[in-house]
Amino acid sequence: MKLLTIIFLLSALLLLPACADEPAPPEDTTAITESAPAELRVTEGGQTDFYIIRADYSSQAVTNQAIRLRKAIIDATGATPGINTDWEKNPTYEHELIIGETLRETEGFIDRRALGESGYIIRESGGKIYISGGSDKGTKLAMDFFLDTFVTSGSDVIVPVGYEYVVYHQYDIPALYIDMVQLDDSRTIVLPPSADKTLTKAAETLRDTLYKKTGLYLSIVTEATDACAILLSEEKPETAGVHEIYVDGGRLVLTSGAGTGLAGCAERFVSLYLEGKTGSWNFPADFRYLDLGDHIVIKFPE
């Protein structure tokens, strides 16, 4: 019995080196290659299932861009995309080329305010290609880029899945400061509660000119809070019959005792400090403008 046990143990020991020296499985040396980016074929072999979509209420400028795109694709590839509007009773297609602002977008999908007047975006999302600008001018520039980039005579129109190209408008006044604090869209223009139509219109012109020149869109409100950037005040200047503009507490204050009133003062501010101006501007803490008719005193900026 002892002899059999010894033989069994010796056999087990002899097997151990064989198990330890057994070669490992061969290493997997299969080459790993990255797949090419997915492509969305707008045309293929003279055929297309894409429809060009514009808004049912689109301007003539945007309508012209939709027609321009269709003609360019036909001329370059021989394929004829359909063309339709976003009217709710019209069908929605699997593949669409969407021109300008339409009902195809979800809220905030394209931020046209951020793009600005000449800014634009080209974006592929869910089998649809959006070609749009911050304005009609931007939409035309977007179409120029799309045609130059993707529509070539004798070649199919192919757009990478997930493609996005964005250009932002370059503003004449890239930054505006009051007492060295840069303004942003959280700031406001404050009107007196008693403002009439003339003053309200002047404030809207001020807001719109600011947006055009700086890209800032300041809301017009009737309550002065810490967010106030420009205050149209009913207080009168100490000097009778003049417009006065000055910095107080990190905001610009506009006052007037002149015949044209606050509306005239707002218009004067636009003409002096926004129209025709370029570069960044700062209105320092000691800024004061006083219109004395034939004599104008401007401490800063000149």
CA–CA gap between residue 145 and residue 197 (Å, rounded): 43
Q: What is the per-residue pLDDT for 34?
A: 54
Run of H or E including 207:
helix 197-214
Q: Is the preceding peptide bond at 301 cis, omega within 30 degrees of 0? A: yes
DSSP 220: E
> What domains does the chain contain, in order, with CATH numbers?
39-167 (3.30.379.10), 176-298 (3.30.379.10)
Tell me the backbone φ, ψ of residue 263, rounded to 5 degrees.
-60, -45
C-beta separation of 144 from 199 below 8 A: no
Mean pLDDT, range 270-276, rounded to an integer? 93
Strand 96-99 and strand 82-85: pairing? unpaired
Can you tell me whether residue 243 is helix, strand or coil? Answer: strand
Kindly list the distances between the CA atom of residue 49 and the CA atoms of 39, 64, 165, in Å, as whole numbers in the listed order.
15, 21, 23
User: Quick check: 151 and 157 in contact, CB under 8 A?
Assistant: yes
State the residue for tokens 């080196």: 17
State mean pLDDT over 263-280: 94
Q: Is the pLDDT of residue 106 over 80?
A: yes
Contact 289, 272 (CB under 8 A): yes
Instruction: From 102, 99, 149, select the one nearest 120 (Cα to Cα).
Output: 99
* pLDDT given at position 73: 98
d(CA 299, CA 302): 7
The token pair at 4 is: 């059999």
Q: In whole numbers, what is the pLDDT of the chain averaged over residues?
A: 87
Interatomic CA distance for residues 100 and 136, integer angstroms: 8
First-to-last CA distance in the chain? 115
Location of structure tokens 């400028």: 61
Encode burial over 252-270: b for 16+ CB neighbours within 10 A, e otherwise.
bbbbbbbeebbbbbbbbbb
Is 262 in contact with 199 (CB distance < 8 Å)? yes
**HEC per residue, 258-294:** CCCHHHHHHHHHHHHHCCCCCCCEEECCCCEEEEECC
CA dist., res. 128 & res. 94, Å (int): 8
pLDDT in tens, 142-186: 999 999 999 999 999 999 999 999 999 999 999 999 999 999 999
Which is higher by pLDDT, 49 or 240?
Answer: 49
pLDDT in tens, 6-25: 334 334 433 334 434 444 55
pLDDT at 241: 87
Q: Report pLDDT digits (tens) over 203-262.
A: 999 999 999 999 999 999 999 899 999 999 999 998 888 999 999 999 999 999 999 999
Residue-level pLDDT at 281: 87
Q: Count the neighbouring beta carbons within 10 Å of the beta carbon of residue 217.
A: 14
Q: Angle at CA 227, nearest 5°, toward 221 and 232?
A: 50
Most confident option among 60-64, 115-119, 282-286: 60-64
